[in-house]
């Protein structure tokens, strides 16, 4: 077969794949209106240890309806958990002490009907998953339970914590829209069916009751 014919066949196959992916995006964008997903931090505490400060939390949320539609069509979703620790100062603004991020990539394989969750301490590289921990699940409820539990997450080294000082913790969780395919980013802007973002603050150590 001539080289030109081979190249033409490859180009046609690539265009068919691209058109199928774009069609999936359009189908997701064309879904009906949905209410915004809500979430909350049900339990939040800090634990001081010799090697640093650890965070424990229990999150409660559902995947937004349009995001779940996209997932079931094979489009991965990305989530970010952010912890920010500041030291209280009566004479000035609170002093930033430490920040930590936890990145999650949730995907679904329609052929095997299995869910996969990857967790990393750095943003996922568009060309690959980088250094991350991965786990497979059979049900969406099981993978959500794993996403909602945060146990012994180190957010600050011991050198950052001063005795007898008061600290404020801000914990935030959100669906990272910036890592969606470009057509979805444009179509999802301002749509409630994609919205998921919530936060909770904590004062530590807790002040004694009067």
The dihedrals phi and psi of 121, each to the nearest 5 degrees, come to -95, -5
What are the pLDDT tens digits along the chain (210 aa)?
455 554 555 555 544 544 444 444 444 444 444 455 679 999 999 999 999 999 999 999 999 988 999 999 999 999 999 999 999 987 788 899 999 999 999 999 999 999 999 999 999 887 666 678 899 999 999 999 999 999 999 999 999 999 889 999 999 999 998 877 776 665 555 556 678 999 999 999 976 545
Three-point CA angle 133, 137, 142, nearest 5°? 105
Residues 6+ apart with CB under 8 A from 122: 103, 130, 131
Q: What is the DSSP-derived secondary structure letter of residue 206?
A: P
């Amino acid at each position: 077969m001539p080289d030109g014919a081979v190249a033409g066949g490859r180009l046609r196959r690539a265009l068919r794949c691209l058109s199928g992916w774009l069609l999936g995006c359009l189908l997701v964008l064309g879904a009906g209106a949905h209410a915004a997903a809500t979430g909350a931090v049900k339990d939040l505490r800090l634990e001081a240890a010799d090697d640093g400060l650890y965070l424990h939390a229990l999150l409660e949320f559902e995947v937004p309806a349009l995001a779940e539609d996209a997932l079931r069509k094979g489009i991965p979703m990305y989530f970010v958990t952010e912890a920010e620790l500041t030291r209280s100062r009566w004479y000035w603004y609170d002093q930033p002490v430490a920040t930590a991020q936890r990145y999650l990539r949730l995907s679904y394989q329609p052929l095997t009907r299995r869910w996969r969750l990857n967790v990393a301490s750095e943003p996922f590289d568009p060309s690959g998953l980088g250094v991350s921990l991965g786990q497979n699940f059979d049900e969406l409820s099981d993978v959500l339970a794993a996403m909602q539990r945060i146990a012994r997450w180190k957010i600050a080294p011991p050198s950052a914590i001063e005795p007898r000082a008061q600290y404020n913790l801000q914990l935030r969780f959100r669906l990272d829209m910036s890592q969606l395919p470009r057509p979805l980013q444009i179509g999802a802007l301002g749509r409630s069916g994609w919205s998921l973002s919530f936060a909770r603050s904590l004062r530590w150590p807790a002040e004694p009751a009067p």
